[in-house]
Amino acid sequence: MTSATSPKITLITGGSRGLGRNTALAIARRGGDVIVTYHSRADAAQEVVAEIAAMGRKAAALKLDTGAVAGFADFAAALKATLSETFGRSTFDNLVNNAGHGDFSPLGETQEATFDRLVDVHLKGVFFLTQALLPLIADGGRIVNISSGLTRFCYPGYSAYAAMKGAVEVLTRYLAKELGPRGIAVNTVAPGAIATDFGGGAVRDNAEIGDHLAAITALGRVGVPDDIGPMIAGLLGPENRWVNAQRIEVSGGQGL
């Protein structure tokens, strides 16, 4: 069990890099403990754990393929053991469904295998991982699902990816309704264009793309990870306890 004064524990999928890593560090800076998952980069995940430990907070890293539902029961068991051994808890407080990948192609060129992988990771994985972890989420906890500004503004080539994120936004509202009796708030955070390695690092590394996106953003630049991680950390804080079933876009006013 947890108390009002105990540090909150947040599980972040895909927390070894990009926005997940930034969110993990932002939560630790606010006094929270963190569990990150990684797909293949155990070394990067352990670097995040070490950075959090250096802040005086507790952290752990667990391997997870969010596109492989068959592995979720084993992951839940490993998580339960980690909660007990590392944190002295039987539950955790916050789940951030962040893990994902970018496969982008025009509608007429999108392969079924590409589409199915997007479904598995961005929709099916979010649904069934959340389901598998519900017994371990403390009453009064929070869930944040990561979507995309691409559910509001449209660019050719992003239809399959954006469709998955649109489905996650609907799922968020249903989760908020069904988990409300347990006091669990569920929200969507939808970043705009962010300069990371996501999607091959196009926003970060291609000056032409970056300049175009900056020109159509009200604040006149593309986003950086520090625009997103602290926002999610704040959303999980007690000052935002009444925010529920919302899509919150964090894009600097892109595409207005």
What residues are labeled active site?
Answer: 147-148, 161, 165
Report DSSP state, residue 236: T
Which residues sit opposite 9 in a β-bridge?
Answer: 33
Question: What is the spatial distance between Cα 112 and Cα 208, in angstroms, rounded to a whole number?
Answer: 30
Report DSSP state, residue 155: -
> How would you class 56 by CB atoms within 10 Å of its CB: exposed for 0-12, middle for 13-18, buried for 19 or more?
exposed
User: Which is it for the CA torsion 84, 93, 20, 180, positive or negative?
Assistant: positive
How many residues are given for the chain?
256
Spatial strand order in the sheet of 247-250:
59-63, 33-38, 9-12, 92-97, 137-146, 185-191, 247-250
